Amino acid sequence: MKKITILILTFILVACSTKKNTLESNNKNGNFVINKDSVSIITPYIEIKERSNFSFIEHPDKRKNLTDFTIQTLESEYPNAEYIEIPFLFKDYRTINSSLERGISYKTENAPTELLTDKYENSIFISINGYFGDINRGVMMLYVIDNKNKKWKMIERYVYDNSPLETDKTKKRILKSLEKLK
């Protein structure tokens, strides 16, 4: 009995100490093509916080810098795309975030009306939630919205274990997810 207990404890310690693999993507849709001339870029939803001494500190300036960087990265891939600013994403981000989370968790096909535009066939929307400081991790999601049918066309989800402020890695994640649209 004692050997079994020691064996189980050893197994638990080894399992807890090994590094977990980062989830790259859980998209089941595969690759598809969108019309680059009929696409808009929607204001990214960025929520980052510093974790320091068991407290979370917001940094609006760093969030703004990461938002601008994300927009520039998207515009470099889609130079003809129009940028559509949705200011309420930052003033009332809980509304849009809860709409997105509800849509994903309940597997709904309808896109939130807050993100729809009549002018373009598709819209690209990126959401980045992450922590830096004592903890470095987060989640990036890419949404492609079919504005005509008011449906999600694709949702890419990437879990990462580094600081969201590492712009080179963030750019690689964005570009990798956009490769599925070519």
Q: Among 152, 130, 156, 128, which Cα is nearest to 142's?
A: 156
Q: Among 116, 45, 120, which Cα is nearest to 80's?
A: 120
The reported pLDDT for the residue numbered 109 is 77
Q: Domain 23-181, what fold?
A: Rossmann fold (3.40.50)
At 180, is the pLDDT very low, low, confident or very high (cuts 50, 70, 90)? confident
Q: What is the pLDDT of residues 91-146, one digit of tens each?
A: 555 555 666 666 555 556 788 777 888 889 999 988 888 999 988 999 998 888 88
Q: Are 152 and 124 in contact (CB under 8 A)?
A: no
Q: What is the pLDDT of residues 23-77, one digit of tens each?
A: 344 445 556 678 888 899 988 888 889 988 888 888 889 989 999 999 999 999 9
The reported pLDDT for the residue numbered 97 is 60
| Domain range annotation of the chain | 23-181
